C-alpha cells in the first residue's frame, strides 16, 4: 500500500512539472519563485477579456439590429531590414574613416558569401565629431584646465536587407566578427498591402451576407430597416507586441545551510512575442504562426434601425355653399338670382 501511495505521489509530481513546463515562465507568480511581469507598451490594444465576463454576459433584446464583423490576417513579411549602429574612434579624421570602412567592408565580404549582395546594404552617417580631453597645465600657484582635441568619433548606421528569417543568423555572425553588436531594430515590409486589405474586405462581405440571411430566418424584413455603417482597417508590426518579464530564483539553499549572507544579483530581463489574440475576431486568415508576422485587420459595423411607419393623410372634405340673393321690387314681386362670388 505504501508503495502504491509513493508511486502516486511521484506521478502527480511529474505531472505538475510537465504542466509547469508547458505553461512557461512569464506568467508564474508563486511564493517560492518570484516572477515579475513588465508589460511593454505598444500602439495597439491587446485583447484579453476574462472568462467570467464572457460566461455571465447579459443579453438585451432590441429591435435595432447590429452586424459587427471583424477579420484578421497574419502576413509574413516580404523583406526585412536590420539596422546596426557602429561607433569608431581614431586619432585623425582619415584614420577614423579608414577603420570604419574596414569594418563595414568586412561585414559585406562575409555576407556576400551568404547571398546578401552590395545592393542590400545602405550606410547612414549619424555623426562625425572631434573628441576632446582636458589637459592640465601646472603653474607656480595655480593649475589651468584646457580642452584639447585628442581624436575623432564616427557613428554610422548600417542597413542590411534580407528576405528570409534564417539569413538573420548569418548577419549577426558577420557583424559580431567585425565587433558590431548594437542591433537597433528590425523592420518588416510587405509589398502587397492593398491586396491583403481587398482580401479581408471580400471575406467580411461574405460574413455580412450570412448574418443578413440569419436575421431573415428569424423573421426580420431587412428591407424595412435603415442602415448606417462604420468601418476601420489597421496594420500592426511585431515591434508593437514584444513584452518583457523577469524569471529568476532568488533563494540560495547552500547559503542558508552554511549560514552565509545572501547577495542579490542582477535579474535578467526576457522578452517574448505576444501577438493579437483571436477571441474577438469572426475570421482569422493564416491563424497558425511560427515566427513574428505583420497582423492586418479590418472591421465593418452595420446598425439597422426600423424605418418609421408612414402616416396616411386623412381626406379633407370641402363644403361648398351656394349663395342666392333675393331681389324685391317696389311692387312686391320677388326675383331670385344667383351671383358668382369667384
Higher pLDDT, 120 or 36: 120
- Would you say residue 307 has pLDDT above 60? yes
DSSP 67-128: EEEEEEEEE--SEEEEEEEEEEEESSHHHHHHHHHHHHHHHHHHHHTTT--GGGEEEEEEEE
With both helix axes pointing from N to C terminus, report the angle between 93-112 and 168-177 in degrees, rounded to the nearest 10.
Answer: 150
Could you report the per-residue pLDDT of 199-233, keeping only the tens digit for each? 999 999 999 999 999 999 999 999 999 999 999 99
Predicted local distance difference test score (pLDDT) of residue 324: 64
pTM confidence score: 0.65
Predicted local distance difference test score (pLDDT) of residue 306: 92
Higher pLDDT, 295 or 249: 295
Closest CA to 86 of 11, 187, 186, 159: 159
Strand partners, 284: 72
Q: Cell for 89?
A: 574612434
Q: Which of the 8 DSSP states describes residue 204? A: H
Closest CA to 306 of 230, 229, 221: 221
Range 49-78 average pLDDT: 82
C-alpha span between 296 and 301 (Å, rounded): 17
Residues 6+ apart with CB under 8 A from 74: 275, 284, 285, 286, 287, 289, 293, 294, 295
Predicted local distance difference test score (pLDDT) of residue 37: 38
Predicted local distance difference test score (pLDDT) of residue 293: 92
Domains and CATH numbers, the chain: 28-76+192-306 (no CATH), 79-189 (3.30.70.2970)
Closest CA to 106 of 185, 173, 183, 157: 173
β-strands 35-38, 121-138 pairing: unpaired
C-alpha span between 177 and 103 (Å, rounded): 9
Predicted local distance difference test score (pLDDT) of residue 99: 92
Amino acid at each position: 500500500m505504501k508503495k502504491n501511495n509513493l508511486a502516486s505521489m511521484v506521478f502527480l509530481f511529474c505531472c505538475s512539472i510537465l504542466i509547469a513546463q508547458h505553461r512557461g515562465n512569464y506568467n508564474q507568480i508563486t511564493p517560492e519563485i518570484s516572477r515579475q511581469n513588465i508589460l511593454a507598451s505598444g500602439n495597439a490594444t491587446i485583447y484579453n477579456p476574462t472568462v467570467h465576463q464572457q460566461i455571465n454576459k447579459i443579453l438585451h433584446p432590441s429591435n435595432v439590429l447590429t452586424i459587427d464583423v471583424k477579420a484578421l490576417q497574419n502576413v509574413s513579411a516580404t523583406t526585412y531590414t536590420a539596422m546596426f549602429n557602429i561607433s569608431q574612434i581614431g586619432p585623425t579624421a582619415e584614420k577614423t574613416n579608414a577603420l570604419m570602412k574596414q569594418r563595414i567592408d568586412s561585414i559585406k565580404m562575409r555576407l556576400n558569401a551568404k547571398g546578401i549582395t552590395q545592393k542590400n546594404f545602405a550606410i547612414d552617417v549619424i555623426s562625425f565629431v572631434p573628441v576632446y580631453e582636458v589637459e592640465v597645465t601646472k603653474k607656480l600657484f595655480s593649475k589651468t584646465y584646457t580642452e584639447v582635441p585628442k581624436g575623432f568619433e564616427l557613428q554610422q548606421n548600417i542597413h542590411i536587407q534580407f528576405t528570409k528569417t534564417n539569413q538573420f543568423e548569418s548577419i549577426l555572425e558577420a557583424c559580431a566578427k567585425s565587433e558590431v553588436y548594437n542591433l537597433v531594430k528590425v523592420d518588416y515590409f510587405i509589398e502587397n498591402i492593398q491586396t491583403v486589405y481587398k482580401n479581408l474586405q471580400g471575406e467580411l462581405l461574405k460574413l455580412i451576407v450570412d448574418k443578413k440571411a440569419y436575421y431573415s430566418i428569424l423573421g426580420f424584413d431587412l428591407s424595412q430597416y435603415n442602415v448606417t455603417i462604420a468601418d476601420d482597417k489597421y496594420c500592426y508590426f511585431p515591434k508593437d507586441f514584444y513584452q518583457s518579464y523577469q524569471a529568476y530564483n532568488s533563494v540560495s539553499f547552500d547559503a542558508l545551510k552554511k549560514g552565509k549572507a545572501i547577495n542579490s544579483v542582477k535579474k535578467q530581463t526576457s522578452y517574448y512575442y505576444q501577438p493579437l489574440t483571436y477571441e474577438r475576431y469572426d475570421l482569422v486568415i493564416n491563424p497558425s504562426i511560427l515566427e513574428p508576422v505583420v497582423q492586418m485587420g479590418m472591421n465593418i459595423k452595420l446598425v439597422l434601425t426600423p424605418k418609421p411607419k408612414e402616416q396616411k393623410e386623412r381626406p379633407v372634405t370641402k363644403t361648398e355653399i351656394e349663395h342666392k340673393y333675393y331681389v324685391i321690387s317696389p311692387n312686391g314681386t320677388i326675383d331670385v338670382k344667383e351671383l358668382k362670388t369667384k
